[in-house]
A and B are shown apart, each in its own frame.
Chain A
């Protein structure tokens, strides 16, 4: 365990080149834009002197590598630029929207776990029976259904026809917890179902691996009840890849949140990028992509560390 900080340090070092490449990609995005960005910024203004002044102000006359280094320096200090629309710093905007998406992500993960894990266990224990086939079909359907369409159908059924839950809107959990959970139930269920399908498949395959191992046969031979064998012996070990997978599903959650937030008008991180795209607020788009990638790398690192911490055999090799 003494070597854990060294391991983390090494993994952090490996992440640096990845982050640099991502930064080059994000910076290059703005160069893909057709036309002169200054013309877009200037609006109706067409005076060449003013345009030149703007070009100087934003260092657009500098060579591209120099522009990149300057931009990267800003990013390293948390300066992701300023939103063209609201004039707010991009990092501040992201900071405002992120808690909303984190709440959505946590609630979605809750749905994913309570649906996916028991279904995976059931499918593995009842392998090649009708229950296994049904669980697999449900998982496959979960992976194949576009979550934005599922959202639309749920609004139609639960909000429009039955009037049980609000179709849109958001309330902070710190202001009105009941209303907050009510507004987030449908979006998080929609987002959670796709993840539940992935979790189910992984739980099933991890459980099948564990169930065929020698120590499970021994536990059965010792006369332990099937319940004890499944929950105390098999599931605990099968949980390992499932826990780490949950961390890795973070990227999928963020991507899914883009559409889910759009449908249910949840003012989160996902809606921020879509609104920014339509407002041609490119600094925000870049900032969101950069932050997402950083978040993904951090979650990857967390998954790796968690895997080592939870697996005694890997801990011993450190």
Chain B
């Protein structure tokens, strides 16, 4: 147990130092605020006093922004603000769930490859390299096409496409950590492989995984918007920012506002995650301390 006490104290000190650095970084705080704003909007969507996002109104087709419809209406007379707020749910959910899939599969395989080495590493690394050779979006499109168009399948496709990045990252981290004295110590007191991997390796490789996951959420949100834009993600009449842009491109001259807002929302939320990710990287990188 001495190994635990030896590593826990510096780890705690390290995390509070990282937290202080993160709070002092103005751009990452700005990123965090942007994310919280959109998360709050998405979470409060059912209770906010906004029109039904799928209710059509033939008398309000393609109306410009006004007091009645702050961001205007779309080709079916639906309120764009309402669809934007409900669309935030789809986009954020897609970003977070697809990264969760990528982490849930990628990290365990990365740990196995790094910890055991040998043929386990050889097989996992070769498969990872092969998957990395396929551009993220092309692989996601191919998977979404074969799985069928839906938001869930888009999330699976994006998650599977992002997974190899986490395998490679985790493997690299594990290779460094497994040489540490505390891992040797745990091994010498007779702990099993699973115990060592879960209690000693995993907590020491989480920092770069958190950074990568934050940055990948940004990529995943753009990927979901791209798939929905192509018609392979969220299906009508449900709203998502990408699918709203897909419709909007057909009405550029008649209703340019339809294309403006969803793009601005995607840009803001993605820049939020990128700013937070960059800040986390600076805060958690030991070379910066």
- Closest B residue to A151 by beta carbon equals B249
For the complex, what is the distance from the CA of A141 to the CA of B267, rounded to whole Å?
A: 8
The interface residues of chain A lying within 8 Å CB-to-CB of B256 are: 156, 160
Proximity bits, A13-43, B CB within 8 Å = 1, else 0: 0000111011001000110111000000000
Q: How many residues of A contact B (CB 8 A)?
A: 48
The interface residues of chain B lying within 8 Å CB-to-CB of A113 are: none
B172: interface (CB < 8 Å) = no
Are A252 and B226 within 8 A (Cβ)?
no
How near does chain B come to A186, taking the closest CB pair, in angstroms?
Answer: 14
- Closest B residue to A269 by beta carbon equals B138
For the complex, what is the distance from the CA of A192 to the CA of B195, rounded to whole Å?
A: 48
Among A265-314, those with CB < 8 Å from B are 273-274, 277-278, 282, 285-286, 288-289, 292-293, 296-297, 300
Known A30-B146, A32-B146; contact A148-B245, beta-carbon cutoff 8 A: yes
Are B134 and A149 within 8 A (Cβ)?
no
Proximity bits, B144-181, A CB within 8 Å = 1, else 0: 11111000000000000000000000000000000000
B139: interface (CB < 8 Å) = yes
- Closest A residue to B219 by beta carbon equals A143
Q: Which one, B126, B141, B259, contacts A156 given CB within 8 A?
A: B259
How near does chain A come to B113, taking the closest CB pair, in angstroms?
Answer: 15
The interface residues of chain A lying within 8 Å CB-to-CB of B266 are: 146, 149
Binds A, one of B6-14, B40-48, B270-278: B270-278
For the complex, what is the distance from the CA of A277 to the CA of B263, rounded to whole Å?
A: 24
Q: Which one, A274, A282, A289, contacts B139 given CB within 8 A?
A: A289
For the complex, what is the distance from the CA of A155 to the CA of B142, rounded to whole Å?
A: 28
Binds A, one of B61-69, B95-103, B228-236: B228-236
Are A277 and B232 within 8 A (Cβ)?
yes
For the complex, what is the distance from the CA of A310 to the CA of B117, rounded to whole Å?
A: 33
Known A146-B222, A293-B133; contact A273-B141, beta-carbon cutoff 8 A: yes
Are A296 and B148 within 8 A (Cβ)?
no
The interface residues of chain B lying within 8 Å CB-to-CB of A106 are: none
The interface residues of chain A lying within 8 Å CB-to-CB of B262 are: 149
A258: interface (CB < 8 Å) = yes
Are B263 and A149 within 8 A (Cβ)?
yes
B131: interface (CB < 8 Å) = yes
Proximity bits, B79-120, A CB within 8 Å = 1, else 0: 000000000000000000000000000000000000000000
A152: interface (CB < 8 Å) = yes
Name A's interface SS.
helix
Are B130 and A252 within 8 A (Cβ)?
no
How near does chain B come to A162, taking the closest CB pair, in angstroms?
Answer: 13
B284: interface (CB < 8 Å) = no
Q: Which one, B130, B248, B252, contacts A25 given CB within 8 A?
A: B130
A82: interface (CB < 8 Å) = no
Are A288 and B133 within 8 A (Cβ)?
no
Are B148 and A152 within 8 A (Cβ)?
no
Are A273 and B138 within 8 A (Cβ)?
yes
- Closest A residue to B275 by beta carbon equals A140
Are A296 and B245 within 8 A (Cβ)?
no
- Closest B residue to A26 by beta carbon equals B142
For the complex, what is the distance from the CA of A278 to the CA of B230, rounded to whole Å?
A: 9
How near does chain A come to B4, taking the closest CB pair, in angstroms?
Answer: 37
The interface residues of chain B lying within 8 Å CB-to-CB of A288 are: 138, 142
- Closest A residue to B148 by beta carbon equals A34
The interface residues of chain A lying within 8 Å CB-to-CB of B191 are: none
For the complex, what is the distance from the CA of A293 to the CA of B259, rounded to whole Å?
A: 33
For the complex, what is the distance from the CA of A148 to the CA of B253, rounded to whole Å?
A: 17
The interface residues of chain A lying within 8 Å CB-to-CB of B138 are: 254-255, 258, 273, 288-289, 292
How near does chain A come to B131, taking the closest CB pair, in angstroms?
Answer: 7
Q: Which one, B218, B229, B252, contacts A160 given CB within 8 A?
A: B252
For the complex, what is the distance from the CA of A32 to the CA of B139, rounded to whole Å?
A: 14
The interface residues of chain A lying within 8 Å CB-to-CB of B148 are: 34
Are B226 and A148 within 8 A (Cβ)?
yes
B135: interface (CB < 8 Å) = yes
Known A17-B126, A153-B263; contact A293-B225, beta-carbon cutoff 8 A: no
How near does chain B come to A28, taking the closest CB pair, in angstroms?
Answer: 9
The interface residues of chain B lying within 8 Å CB-to-CB of A140 are: 271, 274-275, 278
A232: interface (CB < 8 Å) = no
Are B135 and A255 within 8 A (Cβ)?
yes
The interface residues of chain A lying within 8 Å CB-to-CB of B24 are: none
Are B142 and A289 within 8 A (Cβ)?
yes
Q: Which one, B126, B144, B252, B270, contacts A152 given CB within 8 A?
A: B252
Are A22 and B271 within 8 A (Cβ)?
no
For the complex, what is the distance from the CA of A150 to the CA of B264, rounded to whole Å?
A: 10
In the complex, besides A288-B142, A300-B133, 15 extra interface pairs with C-beta distance below 8 angstroms are: A17-B130, A21-B126, A22-B134, A25-B134, A149-B262, A149-B266, A251-B133, A262-B230, A263-B249, A274-B230, A282-B146, A286-B142, A288-B138, A289-B139, A297-B133
| Chain B contact residues, CB within 8 Å of chain A | 126-127, 129-131, 133-139, 141-148, 218, 222, 225-226, 229-232, 245, 248-249, 252-253, 256, 259-260, 262-263, 266-267, 270-271, 274-275, 278
Which 4 residue pairs of A and B lie closest in terms of their CB atoms, listed nearest first? A149-B263, A21-B130, A255-B137, A255-B135
8 A-B residue pairs with Cβ-Cβ distance under 8 Å, sorted by A, are A21-B130, A22-B133, A29-B143, A149-B267, A152-B248, A254-B135, A259-B229, A289-B142
